[in-house]
Amino acid sequence: MAVERTLIIVKPDAMEKGALGKILDRFIQEGFKIVGLKMFRFTPRTAGEFYKVHRERPFFNELVEFMSSGPVVAAVLEGEDAVRRVREIIGPTDSEEARRVAPNSIRALFGTDKGKNAVHASDSPESAKEEICFIFSGLELV
């Protein structure tokens, strides 16, 4: 399998719960290397740009409001089959479903519901490249 890079964002709800260290540690324990790390706060405009693929969805405005409601931490993770493995580790989008089907997943442990689900992760190698470039400059990755 190929070594890939993917993006995660620890969302405002997980940051408020103080779960950042536990979430990052989980990925380290799973064998990922953190090659980029940044704390920032989305503005409504930048959150809207980042989540533009969801612009036509009914939850878009709520998502933008939530993601710009507090600080987030973005990390670029590197490892074999990273996109698929990270998605598996975070669990289903709906945290309540995650607690039923993947009780040790990040969303089961730290998420609240479908919207406040602790962490974002790229869903394909193509979106990972685009999302990484949105958040990080080349000089910020090691």
54 carries an active-site annotation: no
**Does domain 3-40+69-140 match CATH 2.60.120.10?**
no
How confident is the model at residue 99, as a pLDDT?
Answer: 97
How confident is the model at residue 87, as a pLDDT?
Answer: 98
| pLDDT tens sequence across 101-141 | 999 999 999 999 999 999 999 999 999 999 999 999 989 99
pLDDT at residue 1 greater than cutoff 90: no
How do the domains of the chain map onto residue ranges?
Answer: 3-40+69-140
Find the catalytic residue in 8, 50, 120, 135.
120
- Phi-psi label, residue 11: left if phi above 0, alpha if psi -120 to 50, beta otherwise: beta
- Contact present, 50 and 92 (Cβ < 8 Å): no
| pLDDT tens sequence across 26-41 | 999 999 999 999 999 9
